C-alpha cells in the first residue's frame, strides 16, 4: 500500500515528460511495464531498520488517500495550444490598435476634440497607480558592467506612487578596464503602436517638465531622448538636474525645456542644440553623485506644463565657430 503513491507519481512523471506517438507506444509500453515490475520488487531491509520502515509505512498509509486524490489531472486533459488561433487574435488586437490610432488622429486624443487638447496647459504623461504603470519603465545599474550598485522599483503606499530605491556603490568593476562606476537609472519604455511601430510624444505646445516627487536630498539627472533611427545618434540626450530636498513632504519640480543641455556619450558638447519637443522618445532619471549608500525617490506623476511666465527659448549660447550651421 505504501508503494501506491510512488507508483502513481512515477507514472505521472513519465506521462508528463513523454507523450509518445503511435509508432513508439508499443515500445514504451514494454519499458513502462519493466519499470513498474522493478519498482514493485520488495527491497531487502536490514534487521536494524525494520522497525523504522514499519513506522514509515504506517505514516504513508495514513496519507495515501490524500496523495492519490490530488493526482487526478493528466496532461491529456489540458487544452492544446492552437497556434493559428493565437496568430489571428494577435492580428485582431493590432488592427484594433490601428483603428484607435486613426480615430484619435482625426477626432482627437482619447476621444476629446482637438481644440480642447491644444488649449490645455498641463498634461499628466505618466502616473503610478498600479503594476501596469510600472511595466512602462525599466531600471538598470552598473551591474551590467560588473558594478555593485542595486536598484529596485515597486509601488508605494496605497498604490498612489512609485518607489525607486536601492544602494549606490562607486567601487569599480574588477575587469582591468573600468576605472569608474556607480550609477542607477530608471528609463521609460519606448511607446509602441499597432504592429509594434515606434511612437513618440508631442510636447510642442508645452514649455516645462512638471513632476511631483519626494526624495532623500540627492540630486538626480533627468534625461530626455529624441525619437531617431540613426545609429550614430543613439547616445545623444538632453539633460538637466533635479534636486530633491529630503524630508517627509512632497515637492513639485518644474524644469523648463529650454534648460536641458545637449550631451553625447555622456559628455556635454560645446555646440548646443535645442530639444525638439515633437519627437520625444523616452525620459529617464539617473543617480550618479558618487555618494555610496542607500537612496530612494518616490514619484507621484510626471507631466508637462505650459508656463505663460516663461519666455526663454534656449538657455545656452552658440557661436559661429562652435555651430556654424545655426548662422548660415
pLDDT at residue number 28: 40
Q: What CATH fold (topology level) applies to the domain 121-327? A: Jelly Rolls (2.60.120)
Buried b (16+ CB within 10 A) or exposed e, 270-281: eebbbbebeebb
CA gap 219, 295 in Å, rounded: 11
pLDDT digit string (tens) for the chain, length 328 residues: 444 444 444 444 444 444 444 444 444 444 434 444 444 444 444 544 444 555 445 544 444 444 444 444 444 555 566 777 778 777 778 777 777 766 665 555 555 665 565 567 889 999 999 999 999 999 999 999 889 999 999 999 889 999 999 999 999 888 778 888 899 999 999 988 777 788 899 999 999 999 999 999 999 999 999 987 665 567 789 999 999 999 899 999 999 999 999 998 888 888 898 899 998 999 999 999 999 999 999 999 999 999 999 999 999 987 777 666 665 5
What 3-state class would DSSP assign to 202? coil
What 3-state class would DSSP assign to 251? strand
pLDDT at residue number 31: 43
pLDDT at residue number 70: 42
Strand 219-226: give its sheet, edge to edge: 137-141, 184-188, 280-287, 219-226, 236-243, 261-264, 267-268
pLDDT at residue number 225: 94
CB 123 within 8 A of CB 202: no
Kind plus residue range of the DSSP H or E element containing 3? helix 3-17
pLDDT at residue number 314: 92
Question: What are residue 67's phi and psi, to 5 degrees?
Answer: -70, -40
DSSP string, 215-250: ESS-EEEEEEEE----GGGTTEEEEEEEE---SSS-
Counting Cβ atoms within 10 Å, is residue 208 exposed (0-12), middle (13-18) or buried (19+)? buried
pLDDT at residue number 119: 61
Domain parsing of the chain, residue ranges: 3-76, 79-119, 121-327
Amino acid at each position: 500500500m505504501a508503494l501506491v503513491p510512488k507508483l502513481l507519481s512515477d507514472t505521472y512523471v513519465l506521462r508528463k515528460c513523454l507523450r509518445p506517438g503511435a509508432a513508439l507506444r508499443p515500445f514504451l509500453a514494454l519499458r513502462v511495464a519493466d519499470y513498474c515490475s522493478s519498482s514493485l520488487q520488495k527491497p531487502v531491509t536490514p534487521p536494524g531498520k525494520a522497525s523504522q520502515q514499519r513506522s514509515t509505512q504506517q505514516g504513508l498509509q495514513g496519507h495515501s488517500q490524500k496523495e492519490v486524490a490530488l493526482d487526478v489531472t493528466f496532461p491529456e486533459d489540458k487544452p492544446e495550444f492552437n497556434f493559428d488561433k493565437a496568430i489571428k487574435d494577435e492580428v485582431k488586437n493590432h488592427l484594433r490598435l490601428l483603428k484607435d490610432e486613426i480615430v484619435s488622429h482625426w477626432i482627437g486624443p482619447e476621444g476629446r476634440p482637438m481644440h480642447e487638447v491644444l488649449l490645455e496647459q498641463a498634461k499628466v504623461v505618466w502616473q503610478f497607480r498600479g503594476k501596469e504603470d510600472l511595466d512602462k519603465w525599466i531600471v538598470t545599474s552598473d551591474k551590467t558592467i560588473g558594478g555593485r550598485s542595486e536598484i529596485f522599483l515597486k509601488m508605494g503606499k496605497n498604490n498612489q506612487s512609485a518607489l525607486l530605491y536601492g544602494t549606490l556603490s562607486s567601487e569599480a568593476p574588477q575587469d582591468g578596464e573600468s576605472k569608474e562606476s556607480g550609477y542607477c537609472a530608471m528609463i521609460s519604455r519606448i511607446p509602441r503602436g499597432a504592429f509594434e511601430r515606434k511612437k513618440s510624444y508631442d510636447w510642442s505646445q508645452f514649455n516645462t517638465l512638471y513632476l511631483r516627487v519626494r526624495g532623500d536630498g540627492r540630486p538626480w539627472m533627468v534625461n530626455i531622448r529624441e525619437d531617431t533611427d540613426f545609429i550614430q545618434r543613439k547616445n545623444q540626450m538632453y539633460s538637466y538636474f533635479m534636486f530633491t530636498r529630503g524630508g517627509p513632504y512632497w515637492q513639485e519640480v518644474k524644469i523648463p525645456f529650454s534648460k536641458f543641455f545637449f550631451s553625447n556619450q555622456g559628455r556635454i558638447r560645446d555646440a548646443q542644440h535645442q530639444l525638439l519637443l515633437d519627437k520625444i522618445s523616452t525620459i529617464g532619471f539617473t543617480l550618479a553623485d558618487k555618494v555610496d549608500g542607500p537612496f530612494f525617490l518616490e514619484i507621484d506623476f510626471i507631466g508637462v506644463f505650459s508656463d505663460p511666465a516663461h519666455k526663454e527659448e534656449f538657455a545656452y549660447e552658440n557661436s559661429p565657430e562652435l555651430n556654424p550651421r545655426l548662422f548660415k
